[in-house]
Amino acid sequence: MQFVDNYDPQNAEIGSTVAYKNALGINPDAYNTYLNSVVNSNRGTLIITPTTLRTRISLNPGDRLIIRAEGSIKLGAFAGYGGPDGIDGFAAYSLASNIRHGSLIYVIGNADWQFAGSSKTITASKSGSLLMTVNDKQVDDDEGQFIVNYEIIRSTDGATTSPTPAPSVAASPVRATPVIEQNTNQPYNAPPSRPANSARNVDRSQLLYSGAANRFVNERAIGGKLYLYPDRLEFRSYLFKTLIDEQTILLDQIEQVEFYNPMDIFQNGLIVKTTDGKRQKFVVYGRDRWREEIYKLK
């Protein structure tokens, strides 16, 4: 098994996000370029970063959006880390000062920002495009992402009117350029869903390490958890207690393990190349620990 640490100090690929640090003097247009392959799907996973993200999901009156969010974001040099529910204080640095700083927030169409947090069921009162972001307007030194699993229950009385445009975010020194979206035409075919209790139980007696991770299929991120055993890697993703994605890679079939992402960012890339020529791409949390545990099996 070959190991590679691949670093480029100018460019860090974080999940489905191409992130540039303004501190390096990179083109600010590139800094605000983000990828999201979800196009109005009724079920899936969103990667929400500190820079505004248009989800390209549209809702009609009566549609219900159910979200479950996790992850952690470093909110600048002084505020520390926060999850989707946000942290107290720092209202002056928030996009919506009446909502907890650094929390996951959303808006549908032209309206005010609303709190989403780690768990929420949202009922659309009007047609509009869904916008989700982090409640922070000083994002230059922010790092991290929220993983948002969602499901939309469409109203049977839903109108077919065109959604209203999502609002623009007020300009600030670190939001000088708009978000540029890059579409992908590669479809994602999810495996058949099955109840969680039908899945194979995780043998924790042999578990060496595990942690939150994303797996990428056709450049779409699937949030879940990665498990390391003496003989295999396993990835599992659940949506509302239903197993929606599972991948097992036997260690004796791994030809190369490649770690990437510079700048000490805590989401880190992991590419597993197998002997059949296939590549499995993940983002793991805590690259150093994953590298240490995998190296032990070399």
* CATH, residue 288: 2.30.29.30
Q: Is residue 119 part of a domain?
A: yes
Q: Is residue 202 part of a domain?
A: yes
Q: What is the pLDDT of residue 66?
A: 93
Residue 59: C-alpha distances to residues 16, 62, 126, 212, 222 (Å): 23, 8, 8, 29, 22
Averaged pLDDT for residues 117-126: 94
Same domain, 176 and 199: no
Structure tokens at 193: 């869903």
Q: What is the pLDDT of residue 205?
A: 59
**Highest mean predicted confidence (pLDDT) among 31-35, 151-155, 187-191:** 151-155
**pTM greater than 0.85 (yes/no):** no
Q: What is the pLDDT of residue 181?
A: 28
- The pLDDT of residue 243 is above 80: yes
Q: Is 228 exposed, middle or buried (0-12, 13-18, 19+ CB in 10 A)?
A: buried
Same domain, 130 and 242: no
Q: Is residue 77 part of a domain?
A: yes
Same domain, 51 and 149: yes
- Of 153, 182, 211, which residue sits at a domain end? 182
DSSP string covering 90-124: -GGGSSSTTS-BT-EEEEESSS--EE-TTEEEEE-
Same domain, 163 and 237: no
| Contacts of 220 by beta carbon, 8 Å cutoff, 6+ apart | 16, 37, 38, 44, 45, 184, 188
Same domain, 136 and 203: no
Residue 131: C-alpha distances to residues 54, 56, 179, 253, 264 (Å): 5, 8, 12, 41, 28
Q: Is residue 187 part of a domain?
A: no
- The pLDDT of residue 184 is above 80: no
As a whole number of angstroms, the distance between CA 174 and CA 141 comes to 9
pLDDT confidence tier of residue 160, bands split at 50, 70 and 90: very low
- Of 159, 182, 205, which residue sits at a domain end? 182
Q: Is residue 123 part of a domain?
A: yes
As a whole number of angstroms, the distance between CA 236 and CA 198 comes to 13
Q: What is the pLDDT of residue 40?
A: 57
**Highest mean predicted confidence (pLDDT) among 42-46, 208-212, 286-290, 293-297:** 208-212
Averaged pLDDT for residues 187-216: 56
Same domain, 223 and 150: no
Same domain, 204 and 167: no
pLDDT confidence tier of residue 221, bands split at 50, 70 and 90: low
- The pLDDT of residue 102 is above 70: yes
Q: Is residue 112 part of a domain?
A: yes
Work out how many domains the chain is built from and give that number.
2
Q: Are 32 and 179 in contact (CB under 8 A)?
A: yes
Q: Are 149 and 244 in contact (CB under 8 A)?
A: no
Same domain, 226 and 289: yes
Interval 14-73: pLDDT, tens: 332 333 333 334 343 443 333 333 455 787 777 787 765 677 788 999 999 999 888 888
Q: Is residue 20 part of a domain?
A: no
Same domain, 156 and 133: yes
The whole-chain average pLDDT of the chain stands at 70
- The pLDDT of residue 91 is above 80: yes
β-bridge mates for residue 87, sequence order: 101
Same domain, 178 and 211: no
Same domain, 177 and 199: no
As a whole number of angstroms, the distance between CA 159 and CA 60 comes to 6
Q: Report the relative pairing of strands 64-74 and 119-123 from DSSP bridges.
A: antiparallel
* CATH, residue 155: 2.60.120.430
Same domain, 61 and 81: yes
pLDDT confidence tier of residue 157, bands split at 50, 70 and 90: low
Domain range spanning residue 213? 194-295
Q: What is the pLDDT of residue 227?
A: 92
Q: What is the pLDDT of residue 286?
A: 65
Q: Is residue 7 part of a domain?
A: no
- Of 149, 182, 215, which residue sits at a domain end? 182
Q: What is the pLDDT of residue 104?
A: 95
As a whole number of angstroms, the distance between CA 79 and CA 85 comes to 14
